Chain A
Amino acid sequence: GEDVEQSLFLSVREGDSSVINCTYTDSSSTYLYWYKQEPGAGLQLLTYIFSNMDMKQDQRLTVLLNKKDKHLSLRIADTQTGDSAIYFCAETRSGSARQLTFGSGTQLTVLP
């Protein structure tokens, strides 16, 4: 199976909170990242968390890391139509010379 897994689709109503989930398999993961990709564009770094942290908050974004369950989530508060995009979870592992391993992405659709 894939090393990093995400659900493919998520739909929410404008103003609601979105929670995008990610699971990974490698316990040696050092950093975990969330990237946003809009159509035809590159990847925009949203936030990242070091593996010895449980939570990180940055304005509307909250990242939660459950290292025991190897589960990472991204919560977007007050979701707006401009948040519609594909969200990628990614990890780096110690000793892998800075390779990022990406999930397949979650397509977030924000409904008016």
Chain B
Amino acid sequence: NAGVMQNPRHLVRRRGQEARLRCSPMKGHSHVYWYRQLPEEGLKFMVYLQKENIIDESGMPKERFSAEFPKEGPSILRIQQVVRGDSAAYFCASSPDLNSPLHFGNGTRLTVT
């Protein structure tokens, strides 16, 4: 049973470009979460989605960031017009329901040059 799959593992973007981060949850998991880890810090919640629905986006920056989890295919975290401060590790997690622990992927490390 494959774990949470994230790709790419590393992503380099120039300032002003778009970054697209993909996450495939574990098989049987319909709840997806995105977290951001800035250097030397813990993880901060960004958004929680179920299929085709955003449940909680209270941790998402108000501009340039968006997330989706379509009926078919992976969840996508999209960052438009990236800036240097967006450089971080972005982790996706999934769970089968609200009462089970979250399982994390290996993350996408975004570097903005």
Interface set, chain B 55-113, CB cutoff 8 A to A: 55-56, 58-59, 91, 93, 95, 98, 101-107
Cβ contacts A91-103/B at 8 Å (1 or 0 each) = 0000011111111
Interface range on chain B: under 10, 10 to 19, 20 to 34, or 35 or more?
Answer: 20 to 34
Interface set, chain A 30-63, CB cutoff 8 A to B: 31, 33, 35, 40-45, 48
> How many CB-defined contacts (below 8 Å) exist between A and B?
59
Interface range on chain A: under 10, 10 to 19, 20 to 34, or 35 or more?
Answer: 20 to 34
Other than the known A42-B106, A99-B58, A100-B33, what 10 A-B pairs have Cβ atoms closer than 8 Å? A41-B107, A42-B91, A45-B102, A45-B103, A90-B43, A98-B95, A100-B102, A102-B42, A102-B43, A104-B42
Q: Are A102 and B44 in contact (CB under 8 A)?
A: yes
Contact of B33 among A35, A45, A98 (CB under 8 A): A98
Residue numbers in B under 8 Å from A33 (CB-CB): 101
Residue numbers in B under 8 Å from A98 (CB-CB): 31, 33, 48, 56, 95, 98, 102
Interface SS majority for chain A: strand
Contact sample, A vs B, 25 pairs, CB 8 Å cutoff:
A4-B42, A41-B107, A42-B6, A42-B91, A42-B106, A43-B43, A43-B91, A43-B93, A43-B104, A44-B104, A45-B101, A45-B103, A88-B43, A90-B43, A97-B55, A97-B56, A99-B56, A100-B43, A100-B93, A100-B102, A102-B43, A102-B44, A104-B40, A104-B41, A105-B42
